[in-house]
Chain A
Amino acid sequence: AQKVTQAQTEISVVEKEDVTLDCVYETRDTTYYLFWYKQPPSGELVFLIRRNSFDEQNEISGRYSWNFQKSTSSFNFTITASQVVDSAVYFCALRTNAGKSTFGDGTTLTVKP
């Protein structure tokens, strides 16, 4: 069985603050893939990043960065200098080689002006 845990249900920050969203996963598979998705108030789910289990390099894309640590089964997401438009629900997800995708419960981020 696989499981994704996002312990932070809600986070509220003030614009320009940095914020980190935590994600911890469980799987017995040795090959797997991790994702982050964003769901803005409009409701659609938007893909942000994909990481495979063999690639522990951190990644930075603009104000977004991701820290994958296999030793702690974590795949955390940091937004630097947050903006109001970052307000959304963020989902971490795990996909096995068989194709099944499991999502965490999501973290609702509110960025206040």
Chain B
Amino acid sequence: DAGVIQSPRHEVTEMGQEVTLRCKLISGHNSLFWYRQTMMRGLELLIYFNNNVPIDDSGMPEDRFSAKMPNASFSTLKIQPSEPRDSAVYFCASSPTGGQTGELFFGEGSRLTVL
């Protein structure tokens, strides 16, 4: 079975540009998490969804960040406009159906560099 798939794996962009990160969940999973990892702040939870509904977006840094789940298997994280401080590795993770207490299955991450 395919794991969580993230794209792009690497993105280099200039300040002010729009960035869209994509995530495909494991089939049958119904919880979706977006994390950001930096040296300074570690792994930060940005937002998570259950059954396509955003449950907690308190970790989203500011209005420049938005996340959507247009369907049960796909999510996007958008940054507009991007800033150098957004440079980080962004991880998407999913969790099995009914398993709100189960382990997370992580994608390989999207490394974003904003110049």
Contact = CB atoms under 8 A, between A and B. Distances in A.
Interface of A: 33, 35, 37, 43-47, 50, 52, 91, 93, 95, 97-106
A100 B45 contact: yes
B106 A99 contact: no
A35 B43 contact: no
B43 A43 contact: no
The 7 residue pairs across chains A and B that have the minimum distance between CB atoms:
A99-B100, A45-B106, A47-B103, A103-B43, A105-B42, A33-B101, A50-B103
Contacts of B42: 103-106
Interface of A is mostly: strand
Contacts of A104: 42
Contacts of B91: 45
A44 B45 contact: no
B108 interface: yes
Contacts of B45: 100-103
Interface stretch (B19-27, B48-56, B68-76): B48-56
A37 to B, nearest CB: 8
Please indicate which of the listed interface residues A44, A99, A105, A106 has the most CB atoms of chain B within 10 Å of its own CB: A99
B109 A97 contact: no
Contacts, number: 56
A24 B93 CA distance: 23
B56 A50 contact: no
A35 B33 CA distance: 16
B77 interface: no
Contact of A43 (B55, B104, B105, B108): B108
B89 interface: yes
B16 interface: no
A104 B35 CA distance: 13
Interface string B93-115: 10100001111111011000000
Given A44-B106, A47-B103, A97-B101, 13 more contacts: A33-B101, A35-B103, A37-B106, A44-B108, A45-B91, A50-B103, A99-B31, A99-B48, A99-B50, A99-B100, A100-B45, A101-B104, A102-B45
Interface string B39-68: 000110100101000011000000000000
